[in-house]
Structure 1
Amino acid sequence: MSLSDRRLKILEAIIKDYITTAEAVGSRTISKKYDLGVSAATIRNEMADLEEMGYLVQPHTSAGRIPSEKGYKLYVDSLMTHSNLNQFEQDIVRKCIVNNVGQMKNLIEETLKLLSTLTNYTAVAITPQGKQSKIKHLQLVQMDINSVLLIVVLDNGTVKNTNINMNVEISKDKLEVISKVLNDKLVGKVIDEIDDKFVGYIKSEMISYSNMLDSVFKGLFSSVVEVDDFEILLSGATNILNFPEFNDVIKARAFLNMLEQKETIVDILNAKGIQKDNVNIIIGTQSSCEIAKDCSIITATYSMNGTTIGKLGIIGPTRMDYSKVYTSIDYVGKMLNDIFNKSK
């Protein structure tokens, strides 16, 4: 059996109706709501064929049909229409991004809130890989004679603050000397390049400050060098509870627990799906996570100078509004890429 134009139109109508209603779709519903030019009996026969071909499933003997994972994949790959955000939506995306340029974490957090609001699903991001970032500025601020605040600004906009307990008393003048030398030596340095050998070189240049530098570098390593390469940010985690597919308490709890597992989220966002330009669409069992097999994930990457520095994702039930989510995350991803690469 082949997929004729009529079968494709019927499948598309069923998917659109099921996305909207979350109820199994019957032939009479399609006949009444969609002008396909054929009778309900003909639609019923075509639906039976689509089920036999694996594009539809019948959850109950007397019920209508719902799309299968295979049906969703065909829809996303060939039938989904690509719309545009309306002018109001485009304006709020642009305002959100422009207002937060220069503060990477704030920018991504606000962008996730916006995506969650636009789509009504859960928005998630892998933040920039900090170890590939460069130190833009470093400052030591004296809190008291034995305590110093270390402030490190990275070129991706991230700011790290660490309190350091010094093992010796330190004056403001000495602190200024150390700050100046460290800025001279470290600004422009990639974090991954700051190793024991490099630290030893700096200490050899400042032998009289060696004890103080031990404490400063300990604070630097704990706040920047030894941290994880990425961070997971979330917005709208409980939005999934608004969908009937996750009304079951056990299922909902399992989904929320999944969102707390950092490595799992990274694996889900990095799964291979249907690629459309900068957008990747992962449907159901394309994900390796058991809980995520009832979900779809749509992701977009953002880059700086040709290097991918992070990824945005929208997670929802497989019955998600693919066209709306695709349009939203594609637009946001392009805006982020434009901003990052214009500013460099």
Structure 2
Amino acid sequence: MISDRQLRILKAIINDFIDTAQPVGSRTISKKYPLGISSATIRNEMADLEELGYLQQPHTSAGRIPSDLGYRLYVDSLINPHSISVEEKELIQSLLLHKIIEATDVANQASELIANFTHLVSIVTIPQFNKCKLANLKMMKITDAKVLLILVTNTGVVKSLQLALTNTDQFILDKISDTLLNSLIGETIENIDVRSILKMKEKLQGFGNIVDYLIPILRDALKGLNETELYLKGEENLLTISEFNDSDKARQLFNFFKSEESLLELLKTVDPNRISIKIGSEIGIDVLEACSIITSSYKVDGKSDGKILVIGPKRMDYGNVISIVNYISNTLSELFSGINL
């Protein structure tokens, strides 16, 4: 068991270490924090906290730093929730909602905002395209040999695909587009298959050859739309953090961030129902051993889909990061669910 006094001392040590990145001694705690106990008592309690596994002493002559176990107790029980100022809320909403019409732009801007507010690394994904519902569809002739297929989902995600289709007049493309849209609107992209398109051939009498040609092209194109799109921002912020001053550590982290496969594996760990914090070894990835990650998801039409992830040192301002992630997550949920903010 850990006493209330030890909890107060542990909280003071971690707060100080987050601010200074320096090992914390008993004299520092007694001078800076009004705990109402002597430096000697604090020193004894710190020794007990080390024995319990909540603190570490990097050098015999140095003060203490939190262990992963200490950070875990801190984030579970001791952090104070932060509140975002009205000015910050207005800035977030203005940047996310004004002059942005595509979901990709929103996700990119959201990732940029999180990186700028937290001074850490952020990742935001957009709702998986093939699980969204079709809201609009249009085929446009761009050259004599190419046609642009534009698909729009109910979440505002826009995809354009080039099709090789020669000598086709725009009015024919309009007729096919309108027929496809009238039949498929409201369907999830992943449910649009060859059979559903074939059913429309009878409504497109005279254009059967074009429809037959389009079917395999559309099938292959729609299959390729199930990849997760992610937006990574703030890698350069790590260069300003003392924990990553070591060139080898920094290089390994930057290589990790360059690997989309590695990032997608990391995103699979995001809890769809709540904000989650993993510290050091809890992440299960060697290159992130010195990091903590804070993850959340945002909802589209009531279902968790898009994901948010923040990566930084264990010595991060957890209260601030959680408040930023929560607010942006809620804003994105409302935005992608069609709520007029």
Q: TM-score range by the shorter chain?
A: over 0.9
Task: Give the share of equivalent positions with the same residue, in percent.
Answer: 37
Q: Distance in 2 between matches of 1:228 and 1:272?
A: 18
Residue 302 of structure 1 and its aligned partner are, at CA, apart by: 0.8
Query: What secondary structure, in the 3-state scheme, does the structure 1 residue paired with 2:200 have?
Result: helix
1:83 maps to 2:82: yes
Compared with structure 1, are the counterparts of its residues 31 and 270 closer, same or farther at alpha carbon in structure 2 (3 Å cutoff)? Answer: farther
Match of residue 131 from structure 1? 130
* Cα displacement (A) at 1:114: 0.9
1:231-310 map, 5 Å:
231-271=229-269, 278-310=274-306
Match of 1:64 in 2: 63
Deviations 1:225-260 (CA, angstroms, capped at 9, x unpaired): 322342121111221121111111221121122223
Matches within 5 A, 1:142-291: 142-166=141-165, 168-203=166-201, 205-206=203-204, 208-271=206-269, 278-291=274-287
Structure 2, unpaired ranges of 5+: none
RMSD over equivalenced CA pairs, Å: 2.2
Other structure's SS at 1:343 match: coil
SS at match of 1:326: helix
Contact 1:272 1:286 in 2 (8 A): no
Aligned position for 1:316: 312
The CA deviation at 1:103 is 2.2
How far the C-alpha of 1:142 sits from its partner, in A, is 1.1
TM-score (norm 1): 0.91
List alignment gaps of at least 5 residues for structure 1.
none
* Residue 342 of structure 1, CA deviation: 5.3
Q: Is the 8 A contact 2:189 2:222 kept in 1?
A: yes
Partner Cα separation in structure 1 for residue 229 and residue 289 of structure 2:
23
Secondary structure class of the residue paired with 1:25: coil
Structure 1 Cα separation of the partners of residues 177 and 187 of structure 2: 15
Contact map agreement 1:297 1:314 (CA 8 A) in 2: yes
Instruction: Work out the number of aligned pairs and report it.
Output: 340
TM-fit CA distance, 1:21: 1.0
Equivalent position SS for 2:18: helix
Partners of 2:155 and 2:337 within 8 A in 1: no
The 8 Å contact of residues 100 and 107 in structure 1, kept in 2 or not, is answered as no
Taking a change above 3 Å as real, the CA distance of residues 41 and 82 of structure 1, as seen in their structure-2 partners, is same
Mapped contact 1:56–1:65 kept (Cα < 8 A): yes
Query: Which whole-Å CA distance do the structure 1 matches of 2:115 and 2:215 have between them?
Result: 39
**TM-score between both structures, scaled by the size of structure 2:** 0.92
Aligned partners of 2:136 and 2:95: how far apart in 1?
A: 26
Q: Does the 8 Å CA contact 1:83/1:327 hold for their aligned counterparts? A: yes
1:51-80 Cα distance to aligned partner (Å, 9 max, x none): 000000111121111000000010111110
Shift of 1:223: 4.2
